[in-house]
Structure 1
C-alpha cells in the first residue's frame, strides 16, 4: 500500500463498537474517541456498567448497534463463537475464535495443543477434588503450582506457587481450600514448578498471520514490592518491542496455521518460564492482556483505531512502535485485589482523582466515570488508573512513570514502586541463555 493510501486510511473516521466483559477497555475506547472516531461501549457485567459514563457513549444492548459499527472489538475470551458468526456476516471484528477461547479457558486443552505443536511443556495433572490432589503430591513429592481452571481462575489470589521441594506447602494450601471452598472450587491443575525468568511474548494476529514487531513483557503479579503478598493477576509490567524473538519462534509462531483456520483477530500472549535448559510455556492469554494493552499503547506510535481497523481487515503491516522500554503500574484502592462490596463503598466509591498539574499524558483511566470533568472511581474492583512511562533505557521509563504518579492524589491509594527493577537481572540471564 502506498504512503498516500495509508494516510487516507488513517484519516477516515469510523464507528467503533466495544463489547466489554468488565469495562476493562475504557482507556482504549477513550483513545479511539480522541482520534476522531465515533465510539459506543457496552459492558456486560452489571456492577461494572457505570464505568465510562462521561468518558464515552454507552450502549445498553450492543446487538442493536451492530449495523452502525464499522469495527467491533470484543475485549475478553468467551465471545469466540459470536465473533466468528459476525465475521461470516461480513463484519470487521477484533476478537477471538472458539479455538483461541479454549486455549485460555481450558488449561488442559492449551497444554495438549502445545504438545501437538511440538512444544515442550511442564508436567501437569488435572484434578476435580482436593483429596485426590493431596494424595498425588504425597506419592509424587515435588514443588508444584496450584492453578484454578474455568471461571475460578479469575480469582487470581487462589493461584499458589509452592516453594517446598516435597510439596508440603501445597498440601497445606489444598487442605485450606477444601475447608473454605468445598465443592465450589471446580477443577484445577497441579503443574510442576521450575526456576528461571518468567516472561511472556505476544503478537497481534490479522486473521491470517502474525503482525510484527513482537512484544516481550515482564509481569509483576504480587500485590507488594519484591513479589510479596497475594497474587493480583498483575500490578504492572515492563516491556519492549522487538522484530524477532527466540521465545516467540519456539512457541507462538508454531500456532500460525492453527490460528488462521479460525481467523483470530487480536492479540495472543503466552507466558513462559525460561532457563538454561529451555523454554517452558505456562498459559495462553487469547485476548488483550490487562494491563499489558495499556502499556503497549504507550509504545505504539500509530492511532489505535487505525491499527485495529487494519488488523480486522486482514492487512499485513508493521506496527510503528517506540524504541526502548515501556513500564506501567496500576494505582489501586480498597478492596483490591479482593471482592468486598462493603469495603469498596466505604473507602473508595466515588473517590475523586486529583491532578496537581493538569497533565494527563501517560494516565490511563481504568474503572472510572466522569462528572463535571472530575474523574471518580466506580465499578467494584478498586482499579483506578494505569500510569505508564517510556524511555530508551528502563531507568528512563521508570523515572517518567514515577514523575507522573507523583502528580496524582487519590485517597487510600497503593501501588508497586519497583516495576522494572528486575530488568537488569532478567536481562543478564536471558542474554546468557541466548533468549534475547
Structure 2
C-alpha cells in the first residue's frame, strides 16, 4: 500500500500514542493530537504532534479516535459520524455505540433486543434505592458505576457475600465519598465462571475475521488481589468465529451495520457450564489490548486501519498462537497522588540493557535526546509483549524482555497468562466454547 496520511486524536487522555508510533515506523505520515494538557508531552519524540486536529482533517486520509470521551462528556461518536458523512475515512463510533459504554442499562437492553441472554440487572440513580433493592432481594451483586466516573476502576466492586451485605456496606460508603460525582450505578447479579472477552473489528458493514479472544487482568497484584486498575495485563489469541462470538457480538452485526460503526468493539462475559453471561461493552480500543493486538498483526498496522476505515472486506494475517502484554507501571498507579508522582516517577529514565526494542510499546512515555522517559502523570510508561505457540512460550518471551528493562520504582504483575494454563483453557474447552 502507498504511504498515507493518518491523524490520531485523543480528545481526552492520551491513549493511542503507541499505535501512532507503529504506523509512522511503517513510513506513513502521522500527526497526533492530544487534548488533555497534562498529557501533552506523551509520545513527544516518537510521533509528530499537532495543536489543532480540525485543521488537519482535509490533510488526513484516515482519522482515528481513540476513546468515546471529549473531556468529561461523550462525543467522539458524534464527531466520527459527522466526518464519515462528509466522506472521510474514520475509525470511530456513533452516538449510540458510545452509549453502550456510558449507560450499562442501555447496553443490556440492546443485547436483550438481539436475543442475547443477560444477567439480572438494574440501574439506579439513588443510593438509598439501590441499598433497599439489595435488602429486599438478598444475593451476590456487582456494583458498576455509570458515566465518566466508571473510569475510576477501583469503584467497580464484586460482591463476596451471598446475602449482599457487603454490597450494602460499600454502597453506603460510596454515597458519602462519591455521591457528588457518581451519576448512577448498575447492580448486576454476580455469577462464577471464566471471565473472557471477545473482540471484533468492524468495517462499517461487517466484522472482519479472525476475531480476538482476550483475558483481562485488572487487579493490581498477582493472584488477582488488590484494587482494580485500568488493566495490568492481557493474554489473548486470534480465532475463527466461535460460540462466544456467535452468541454475543455476532448477534449485533446487523445493528452495528445500521449504525455504521468502524473500529474495535469488545464484549466481556462470564461463561460457565450454564451459558454465556455478558458483563459490559468496550465500543472502542481497549488499553493495553490494542497494543497487544497490533503486536499480533502480521498485516502492516497502517494498511489494517486504512482498509478498515474504508469499509473493505479483507482477512488480515495474524499470529496463530498465544500473546500476552504486561503493563509496566510506576507509583502511584492506579491512584492519583501528584506529590508521590513528582517524587518517584516524574521524568523517570527508562534504561534498556540491550539494543533490541522488539515487543516494547509506549504508553505514557516520551523520547528526549535519545532517552526514553516517563511522561504525563498516570504512571504507565510501557507495555511489554510476548508471543509464542503456547501461552507458556508467550509468557517466557514477555518476561525475558521485562528483565532487560530498568526503571527506578517500576512494578508489574508476573502472572499474566497463568490462569489460562492452570484451568481456564480446560474449562472453556470442556464447556464447548472454543470450537469454530
Q: CA RMSD in A?
A: 0.8
Are 2:176 and 1:179 aligned? Answer: yes
Given that 2:197 and 2:215 are in contact with CA atoms closer than 8 Å, whether structure 1 keeps it comes out as: yes
User: How far apart are the structure 2 equivalents of 1:33 and 1:53?
Assistant: 13
Are 2:225 and 1:228 aligned? Answer: yes
Given that 1:104 and 1:285 are in contact with CA atoms closer than 8 Å, whether structure 2 keeps it comes out as: yes
Could you tell me which of 234, 238, 244 is aligned with 2:235?
Answer: 238
Question: 1:172-198 CA distances to partner (integer Å, 9 max, x unpaired)?
Answer: 111111222233222001110000000
Q: What aligned pairs does 1:397-436 form with structure 2 within 5 A after superposition? A: 397-424=394-421, 425-436=423-434
User: How far apart are the structure 2 equivalents of 1:356 and 1:44?
Assistant: 34
User: How far apart are the structure 1 equivalents of 2:193 and 2:316?
Assistant: 30
User: How far apart are the structure 1 equivalents of 2:338 and 2:242?
Assistant: 43
Q: CA deviation at 1:133?
A: 1.3
Are 2:178 and 1:188 aligned? Answer: no
Could you tell me which of 12, 18, 34 is aligned with 2:8?
Answer: 18
Q: What aligned pairs does 1:380-399 form with structure 2 within 5 A after superposition? A: 380-399=377-396
User: How far apart are the structure 2 equivalents of 1:183 and 1:381?
Assistant: 23
Q: What aligned pairs does 1:137-156 form with structure 2 within 5 A after superposition? A: 137-156=134-153
Question: 1:59-111 CA distances to partner (integer Å, 9 max, x unpaired)?
Answer: 11100111111110001113011101111111111111112111111111101
> Equivalent residue for 2:72?
none
User: How far apart are the structure 1 equivalents of 2:125 and 2:78?
Assistant: 27
Given that 1:335 and 1:382 are in contact with CA atoms closer than 8 Å, whether structure 2 keeps it comes out as: yes
User: How far apart are the structure 2 equivalents of 1:38 and 1:185?
Assistant: 41
Q: Which is worse superposed, 197-206 or 132-141? A: 132-141
Q: Secondary structure at the match of 1:383?
A: coil
Q: CA deviation at 1:128?
A: 1.2
User: How far apart are the structure 2 equivalents of 1:65 and 1:182?
Assistant: 40
Q: Secondary structure at the match of 2:180?
A: helix
Q: What aligned pairs does 1:203-214 form with structure 2 within 5 A after superposition? A: 203-214=200-211
Could you tell me which of 305, 309, 316 is aligned with 1:319?
Answer: 316
Are 2:365 and 1:375 aligned? Answer: no
Could you tell me which of 268, 293, 296 is aligned with 1:271?
Answer: 268
Q: CA deviation at 1:422?
A: 0.4
Q: Structure 2, unaligned stretches of length 5 or more?
A: 69-74
User: How far apart are the structure 2 equivalents of 1:80 and 1:253?
Assistant: 21
> Equivalent residue for 1:4?
none
Q: What aligned pairs does 1:78-117 form with structure 2 within 5 A after superposition? A: 78-117=75-114
Are 2:48 and 1:57 aligned? Answer: yes
Given that 1:197 and 1:273 are in contact with CA atoms closer than 8 Å, whether structure 2 keeps it comes out as: yes
